[in-house]
Structure 1
């Protein structure tokens, strides 16, 4: 949908006043506002047109900042409005006033801001597409679990039955050493036994 150039409204009102209402003065005060400082502020039709142009320019910038806004036809319409206003300001004496000159300047700002916003969106769009296409980083690999230690080989029943454990061997050795052996009496041979009755000496006469 092609957007309507809002700056065309104050320019069109100025043209209507110039061509259709030649007796209307742009400099005569429409009303007077008394401020808190007791100063009187006269508001003219020229001031109203300029304030309307500034507010509409703000709306144009907000529209151009939205995603997908301001197509090529919108920029072309803004350029046409600025070109027509600049031609009237330069060529026609009735439009050679400061009020119409400021309205023409607002139309130029509208056109330049639309081009700047479009260029900015064109520069940002590829970066956004690259961020969307870029795959997400894979999670870091988890460390492999350590293998469980193999159980020691079980001893066979034959070896366990034939080879006594070391603890039982040590206990038997200790028991043998702890029991003292009684000395057996030696039995001498009767030939080797000494004579308990010594021989008596013969009596002397």
Structure 2
């Protein structure tokens, strides 16, 4: 939807009356109203056109104050209409009246008000940069202060009269232990030396060379040597 300035309506009506109805006089009264004071008030056609322009200016300001309801095309049309009204007031003879001058002022005010309100709404809706929230450390929980307990009364324990004091026991002498008899060392068996008939010591033999007769002869008691018979 393309918006257009509402003050374009009274501006178009004035141009229609000037170019299409040249016999219309804007100062001619259109009605006569008797006030409570008894004064006769006769509004003219120019007064009615200005009153319409003021009411439309109010609606134009309300429309511009709504966020997002004002378009760039509406501002451009308001600028074009205001420039055309100023040019007609300065250059054309039928538009050189007080009625058209006030109507031109209303159109200029409408353009300036729309632009200023539009810029204010645009800056208002721009999201501001939100600063990064710094995590705060949680406050330490208050430590409950224990109530000061009442001091306990000192208790004095009385000794029982029936209990006798413990007498010290004298140390008893340790029993003397008899000395253990010394164990005599076991006799070391000696090996028998085997001698030959000539009385010489036989050569050592290995266990594998022994026989049963050798074992029996080793353990047999030695017999006394026979003395040879005397002649």
Give TM-score scaled by structure 2 length: 0.59
Equivalence for 2:186: none
- 145, 153, 160: which one pairs with 1:174? 160
The verdict on how the C-alpha distance between 1:81 and 1:144 changes in structure 2, with shifts beyond 3 A counting, is: same
Cα deviations across residues 57-80 of structure 1 (Å, max 9, x unaligned)?
110000000011222111101000
Partner SS, residue 160 of structure 2: helix
Matched, 1:141 2:138: yes
Matches of 2:9 and 2:138 in 1, distance apart?
Answer: 65
Matches of 2:161 and 2:111 in 1, distance apart?
Answer: 116
The verdict on how the C-alpha distance between 1:84 and 1:144 changes in structure 2, with shifts beyond 3 A counting, is: same
The verdict on how the C-alpha distance between 1:125 and 1:95 changes in structure 2, with shifts beyond 3 A counting, is: same
1:102-181 matches, within 5 Å, as 102-126=102-126, 129-130=127-128, 133=130, 141=138, 143-144=140-141, 173-176=159-162
| Shift of residue 140, structure 1, vs aligned partner | 7.6
Cα deviations across residues 11-54 of structure 1 (Å, max 9, x unaligned)?
11001111111111111111011111011110110000000000
Contact in 1 for aligned 2:4/2:73 (Cα 8 Å): no
| Shift of residue 136, structure 1, vs aligned partner | 7.7
Equivalence for 1:89: 89
Matches of 2:36 and 2:131 in 1, distance apart?
Answer: 61
Matches of 2:142 and 2:42 in 1, distance apart?
Answer: 86
Cα deviations across residues 124-145 of structure 1 (Å, max 9, x unaligned)?
233xx227x5678979836458
Q: Which has the higher contact order (CA 8 A, sep 6+)?
A: 1
Matches of 2:106 and 2:53 in 1, distance apart?
Answer: 7
Structure 2, gaps ≥5 residues long: 144-154, 164-231
CA RMSD of aligned residues (A): 2.7
Contact in 1 for aligned 2:30/2:44 (Cα 8 Å): yes
Larger Rg: 2
Partner SS, residue 31 of structure 1: coil
Give TM-score scaled by structure 1 length: 0.66
The verdict on how the C-alpha distance between 1:139 and 1:56 changes in structure 2, with shifts beyond 3 A counting, is: farther
Equivalence for 2:172: none
Pick the structure with more helix per residue: 1
